Chain A
Amino acid sequence: MTRQATAEAWTDERLRAAFATVAEVAGDGSTCPSADALWACAAGSQHGEDCEATILHLTECPACATAWRLARDLQRDAEPVVLSGHSRWFRRTWVQAAAVAATLALAVGLVAYTRLGGLSRGPAAEFRGREGDWIHCLVPADEALPRDRCRLVWTAGPAGTVYDVRVTTEDLTHVVRALGLEQPELVVPAEKLAHVPAGGNVVWQVRAHLPDGALADSPAFRTAVR
């Protein structure tokens, strides 16, 4: 490979991925900027020269580079990804309709409960208080998913369970966060996987909101991406 060809092989994505996978820690952290400084610089609210000093430090300190990306992703992610594509009007209307339906269902349920002398344990009961250990990754462990069809799947909770999912690379770079999923699956858009090198892993975790209000957090899962 000629030098020109080698240089061209370093695409923007490959440079970013290589930089993000630098895991060595430089120094003892005593010269690192404070968390406040990293946050302010990522927000664009730090004074010019101070911010420049912070950025120059990032090129030498992978730990701070990781922390800076985390701040940037948090600020960038203030509006979480909504995958459903429904309009705000639709969601508001849907929520109002759901509230009316829930009230009716509650009333019917109370009447039934009173008349029948109590119901047996609901389907959600067996999922409560188990800290999400019932949530399993259903992507085969030995399978690397193609990045254009990266579908993460996990065990479903009882009917009505809603899921939040957070996906990062192994070096903590934010990939995607999805809230309010009604199905136990998430298709990660291919463009969100730019930081994941071929053969690299994404790390993901599910939070399940059970119909009775309980929360369950899964362990972190690793899935390889081709």
Chain B
Amino acid sequence: MALAGGAVAPVGSIADEEVEVLRRRIVAAVWRTCPARLTAQLEDLVQTVLTQLTLSSRRSEGKLHFSSTYIAKAAYGAIVDELRRIGRRREECLDEAADALEIASREAGPEAITASREIARGIRDCLTRLVQSRRLAVALYIQGCTVPEAARVLRWSAKKTENLVYRGLVDLRACLAAKGLKP
């Protein structure tokens, strides 16, 4: 990541007050970003981001200078890393109770787990069968994007995006129905 201008400062020379101000900004960013299931790791995440930023610190007018967006992105990066670590641990240790959805699934019973996984596999399989342009449009749409949002991300016109979402959804529904998958 590129930082705003300024010379690199040795960590040892950063005043405690500056670090404390930065820490508070990081706490706010992590709090805004952190998913509920990582609440227990909030302090660790703050420390990770703080270490990352102080090690790559740059100064502007004698102060540590990071924009809010930069701090938000650093917090987001730390959280994505943590989510992936959890994912890897879960693959290694399937009975680990770290994942809220797994807990919910266990409460729902083995039949619900099987059905949920079957549907998950079905949706993924049906998505991969779509023509690429429809797959892109539908992927964003079922990720919760509106048509204008999907159009902005894909840099397509709203009309083109709307058509592809519509046709893609028709294909996806037909594929799920052909597999006998019901909601």
B-contacting residues of A (Cβ < 8 Å)?
Answer: 1, 3-4, 6-12, 14-16, 18-25, 28-29, 32, 35-36, 38-39, 41-42, 44, 48, 51-52, 55-56, 58-60, 62-63, 65-72, 74, 77, 166, 168, 170-173, 177, 194-195, 200-201, 203-205, 207, 217, 219-220, 222
Instruction: List residues of chain A with CB within 8 A of the CB of B182.
Output: 1, 6, 9
The complex places the Cα of A24 from the Cα of B88 at a distance, in Å, of: 11
Least Cβ distance of A188 to chain B in Å? 14
Given contacts A29-B87, A35-B81, contact A65 B183 (CB under 8 A): no
Instruction: List residues of chain A with CB within 8 A of the CB of B135.
Output: 56, 59
Name A43's closest neighbour in chain B (CB-CB). Answer: B153
Instruction: List residues of chain B with CB within 8 A of the CB of A29.
Output: 84, 87-88
Judging by beta carbons under 8 Å apart, are B176 and A173 in contact? no
Judging by beta carbons under 8 Å apart, are B142 and A25 in contact? no
Instruction: List residues of chain A with CB within 8 A of the CB of B127.
Output: 59
Instruction: List residues of chain A with CB within 8 A of the CB of B84.
Output: 29, 32, 63
Judging by beta carbons under 8 Å apart, are A39 and B73 in contact? yes
Q: Out of B90, B120, B145, name the residue touching A18 (CB < 8 Å).
A: B120
Query: Which of A10, A63, A67, A72 has the most C-beta atoms of chain B within 10 angstroms of its own C-beta?
Result: A10
Determine whether B32 belongs to the interface, using a CB cutoff of 8 Å to chain A: yes
Judging by beta carbons under 8 Å apart, are B176 and A25 in contact? no
A-contacting residues of B (Cβ < 8 Å)?
Answer: 1, 31-33, 35-37, 39, 72-73, 76-77, 79-81, 83-84, 87-88, 90-91, 99-102, 104-105, 116-117, 119-120, 123-124, 127-128, 132, 135-136, 139-145, 149, 152-155, 169, 172-174, 176-178, 180-183
Name A204's closest neighbour in chain B (CB-CB). Answer: B36
Report 6 cross-chain contacts, Cβ distance below 8 Å, ordered by A residue.
Answer: A22-B124, A36-B73, A44-B152, A48-B154, A195-B144, A205-B39
The complex places the Cα of A200 from the Cα of B87 at a distance, in Å, of: 22
Judging by beta carbons under 8 Å apart, are B80 and A38 in contact? yes
Instruction: List residues of chain A with CB within 8 A of the CB of B80.
Output: 35, 38, 67, 70
**Nearest 6 pairs between A and B by C-beta?**
A7-B177, A172-B35, A7-B173, A25-B87, A203-B36, A35-B77
Judging by beta carbons under 8 Å apart, are A168 and B119 in contact? no
Name A73's closest neighbour in chain B (CB-CB). Answer: B144
The complex places the Cα of A3 from the Cα of B22 at a distance, in Å, of: 58
The complex places the Cα of A219 from the Cα of B37 at a distance, in Å, of: 11
Judging by beta carbons under 8 Å apart, are A60 and B142 in contact? no
Judging by beta carbons under 8 Å apart, are B173 and A220 in contact? no
- Not counting A32-B84, A69-B143, A74-B32, a sample of 19 additional A-B residue pairs whose C-beta atoms are within 8 angstroms of each other reads A7-B174, A10-B173, A10-B183, A15-B169, A16-B142, A22-B120, A22-B124, A29-B84, A35-B73, A35-B76, A36-B77, A42-B153, A59-B127, A60-B124, A63-B84, A72-B145, A168-B35, A168-B36, A170-B37
Judging by beta carbons under 8 Å apart, are B143 and A68 in contact? yes
The complex places the Cα of A172 from the Cα of B77 at a distance, in Å, of: 16
Least Cβ distance of A38 to chain B in Å? 7
Instruction: List residues of chain B with CB within 8 A of the CB of A77.
Output: 32
The complex places the Cα of A16 from the Cα of B144 at a distance, in Å, of: 7
Judging by beta carbons under 8 Å apart, are A6 and B100 in contact? no
Least Cβ distance of B134 to chain A in Å? 11
Instruction: List residues of chain B with CB within 8 A of the CB of A173.
Output: 144
Judging by beta carbons under 8 Å apart, are B177 and A4 in contact? yes
Instruction: List residues of chain B with CB within 8 A of the CB of A16.
Output: 141-144
Q: Out of A42, A70, A171, A207, name the residue touching B101 (CB < 8 Å).
A: A171
The complex places the Cα of A24 from the Cα of B76 at a distance, in Å, of: 21
Judging by beta carbons under 8 Å apart, are A22 and B123 in contact? yes
